[in-house]
Amino acid sequence: MKEFKKSYKLDNVCYDIRGPVMEAAERLEKEGHSIIKLNTGNPAHFGFSPPENMKQNIINNMERTEAYVASQGIASAREVILEDFLAKGFSGIDIDDIYLGNGVSELISMAVTALVNGGDEVLIPSPDYPLWTATVTLAGGKAVHYKCDESSDWQPDLKDLESHISDRTRAIVIINPNNPTGAVYSKSVIEGFIALARKYDLILLSDEIYDRILYDGDTHYSPAVLADDVFTITFNGLSKVYLAAGYRSGWMVLTGSRARTRDYREGLGILANMRLCGNTFAQLAIEAGFSEGIAAIGRLIEPAGRLHTQRNAIYDGISKIPGISCVKPKGALYLFPKLDGGQFNISDDEKFVLDFLMEKKILLVHGRGFNWNAPDHFRIVFLPPMEELLHVVEAMGDFLEGYRQK
């Protein structure tokens, strides 16, 4: 009998954050081992909790969650998002420019699917949050990676980016603050993106899901605030800043000329209508307002706050391990250390994280899972409490002492 095969469309689609190494971790769990899972930025898994006002608004309004709602999202939630964007300096927008979805993930898919024709190219950072590359590939486009420069605190290399622009290029993806590097882009880099978008008439797709998770008083710049003429789609959501990843809620806002984007918006409208609407529970969470959540994340990232302290501890601990170097993250929830290739002779970074999992029962993601092309990095999520992080540091030091790939 013939085998039921997956679609060829998935041939080059890769999302290793929940890939084969995670499957190995699940097998270990079934055998009774307890695994420290540092593969996803999932705050509630580590004792962080969404704002109380969001939870209460869902509980108090359960009866309003039962029906389909407007495909772009309920107006009261989009009003809250609009106010927040206006406070951040976005201009010329109203609630019709805002789309709510089941996480930024769904909106990335909608935004890319509505844009890309077969063979169209989208410029994506390397390393990246791999959903971007996977989505462009699945939509029949070509993900073209531009370099982020580790020796410049992982800032994007705009010369490299420009060298990849062709007549098939449609858009540039910006992930800022960055997952997996924790880089926060300087104002001049954002202005550089804008200049390239103007010069080559490209769309900016700006993933800002970590925009309020900044350390050391760093500032986040949105391209849409610095340039209201360039067509930009800005993405954000509840998963990180509001610590509510399981609510599956995100939003995007379209800025720039409305007239030039009429057809594209029609495409987005078709896709939004096809899936009827985003989940309604999360829309009630947004309706409750952002101020409580903004204050809470503010407390976590200040010098004595839990996220700030944990960022320092993991950075200090991991950087001290012989054979590892690391750029200190300025934002987000991740550390992206570099392994000395010569010392450990690593040719397969996935095998490295698998070996580490088997020996230490700690789950990480290898660097190539983020479309980084050398087998010399891995990512650590620094959400777990301090004792666990210190245990991870000790385990890594101990593991690497004797590690050498054949």
The widest CA-to-CA distance across the chain, in whole angstroms, is 62
Q: Provide the CA 46 distance to its chain's centre, in angstroms.
A: 18
What CA–CA distance (Å, rounded) separates 82 from 234? 12
CB of 239 to ligand PLP, least distance (A): 3
For residues 126 and 360, which CB has a smaller minimum distance to ligand PLP in the complex? Answer: 126
Name the segment binding ligand PLP (CB under 6 A); options: 97-105, 279-287, 350-358, 379-387. 97-105
Please tell me whether residue 103 binds ligand PLP under the rule CB under 6 A: yes
Site for ligand PLP in 200-239 (CB under 6 A): 207, 209, 237, 239
DSSP letter for each residue of 319-370: HTSTTEE-PPPSBSSEE--EE-HHHHT-S-HHHHHHHHHHHH-EE-EEGGGG
Name the segment binding ligand PLP (CB under 6 A); options: 65-73, 102-110, 286-294, 301-309. 102-110
For residues 39 and 310, which CB has a smaller minimum distance to ligand PLP in the complex? Answer: 39
Element at 405 (helix H, strand E):
none
Question: Binding pattern to ligand PLP, positions 167-196, x when CB under 6 A?
Answer: --------x---x-----------------
CB of 362 to ligand PLP, least distance (A): 19
Distances (CA, A) of 10 to 6, 105, 133, 139: 7, 17, 12, 10
What residue type is assigned to position 331 of the chain? G
Backbone φ and ψ for 156, nearest 5 degrees, come out as -60, 145
Question: Binding pattern to ligand PLP, positions 358-387, x when CB under 6 A?
Answer: ------------------------------
Please tell me whether residue 16 binds ligand PLP under the rule CB under 6 A: no
Binding residue (CB under 6 A) for ligand PLP from 129, 146, 336, 372: 129
Please tell me whether residue 105 binds ligand PLP under the rule CB under 6 A: yes
Please tell me whether residue 109 binds ligand PLP under the rule CB under 6 A: no
* Sequence-ordered list of residues with C-beta below 8 angstroms from that of 31, at least 6 positions apart, any chain: none
156 and 148 Cβ atoms separated by less than 8 Å:
yes
Measured at CB, which residue is nearest to ligand PLP?
103
What CA–CA distance (Å, rounded) separates 152 from 46? 31
Residues that bind ligand PLP (CB under 6 A): 41, 103-105, 129, 175, 179, 207, 209, 237, 239, 245, 250
